[in-house]
Amino acid sequence: MAQKPTIPKGTRDFSPLEMSRREYIFNTVKSIFRLYGYSPIETPSMENLSTLLGKYGEEGERLIFRILNSGDPFSGIDPGMLGNSIALSNIVCEKGLRYDLTVPFARYVVQHQNEIVFPFKRYQIQPVWRADRPQKGRYREFFQCDVDVVGSKSMLNELELVQIVNDVFRRLSLDVEVRINNRKVLSAIAEVAGVPQKLTEITVAIDKIDKIGLDLVKKELEERGIDRDAIGIIEPVLLLEGSFGEKLSVMREVLENSKSGEEGLNELEELFKLAQSAGVHKNLILDLSLARGLNYYTGAIFEVKSKEAQMGSICGGGRYDNLTGVFGLENMPGVGISFGADRIYDVLLSLDRFPGSLASASQVLMANLGPGSVNYLLKTANLLREAGISCEIFSADARLKKQFEYAEKKNFSYMVIAGEEEIAKGVVNLKNLESGVQETLIADEIVKHIKRDK
């Protein structure tokens, strides 16, 4: 019995139509990145586990796909270790699939620091892997589109990320809100609540507020050893409403005795003022429940959500001024943001925002009416391609009805037909498959005609 073909849960195949839509997202994002002076790099799909571990927090590390060493990795293993899966995996797995693009980027910067001109602005569009439970908008293999700058503490970098977000989603015709916070503010909240040592536990818990709600967040905070008095101080902050300025004013009173809180609030205020000057402040929201659970963030943090579709974060990031330090390169500040291409795809699809022209790989189908017709149309096909117009010649000498059916299924915009009469006159028939209008033209006129219709 033949084996039924399957793929692992949380992974997907992509059809030609899906790929054209994905490339539309990638090309849009890439074009904006380049407008702001960012250059592309790539890093390997796998990294040494020593590079990945200790960067994502307890929950993140559980989601790293570990790669079993080649050969016989269990040879010589003490049978007593078989009951300790973590210790065992550290011995038999020396590599893992990358969890994100930021940590590999930090490794890249340290490893290539003598070849890099700082500040270094890079973008990277590659897949990442997480051993998560597959669900809507959450996959085990997915693409991230990252843009980062390292070697500068200037708040202009944060502004630039907000501008990039604004430009990308305007180009994609999506209405979004950009939620921002600052890890220094979160640290100060933990300090004022009397549990500064519990910052990681607090951020991990409140990062789930949109998914599980406030009551379950409070329950998790208790389970993580944070007493009710501390939760009583944290809760009003999470529920704080008002304009950007009103929230800042309230938080200055709450955190008046915290130096880190003052720094974080000053940074948020500076960013908002810069965004006002650049005209990109309207969708900026100060969200004091935003935590971004990754441990490496040190300053501003961002999260972008669609206003029109039920979906989690479609873009997120922040400042990480100590990340390269774990690889031996101190005083290398960095900030970046990551676009979740797969979630953006799902939002665009649900809102029917993909351009209709993406449905076909080619614009023009050349009808095949036999060898004489094909030989005649080969020169026309070359003219179209040289002009940047995609086309193909139907591969079989089939009934014209069948060729029209093929053109309809493949969403061609035009069909070029040349029978004996047209060949004798040195012309072709160009049929617009959307309007049904057919015109007789010489080959040189087809290019101008199609470009005029665009």
| Matching residue, tokens 């040592």 | 197
* Whether residue 433 is found in the same domain as residue 286: no
- Residue 420 sits in a domain whose CATH number is 3.40.50.800
Same domain, yes or no, for 232 and 253?
Answer: yes
Give the end of a domain, one of 299, 323, 350. 350
pLDDT of residue 83: 67
Same domain? 152 vs 266: yes
pLDDT score, position 40: 98
- Percentage above 90 pLDDT, the chain: 64
Q: Show the domain range for 268.
A: 16-43+110-350
pLDDT tens-digit readout, 229-272: 888 888 888 888 999 999 999 999 999 989 999 999 999 999 99
Same domain flag for 279 and 364: no
Give tens-digit pLDDT for 96-119.
Answer: 999 999 999 999 999 999 999 999
CA separation, residue 404 to residues 44, 321, 348 (Å): 45, 60, 30
Taking the C-alpha atoms of residue 249 and residue 265, their distance in angstroms, rounded to an integer, is: 9
27: amino acid identity, one letter = N
Q: Give the whole-angstrom CA distance, residue 127 versus residue 14.
A: 14
pLDDT of residue 137 exceeding 80, the answer is no
Looking at the domain assignment, is residue 68 inside a domain?
Answer: no
Q: Indicate which CATH number applies to the domain containing 306.
A: 3.30.930.10
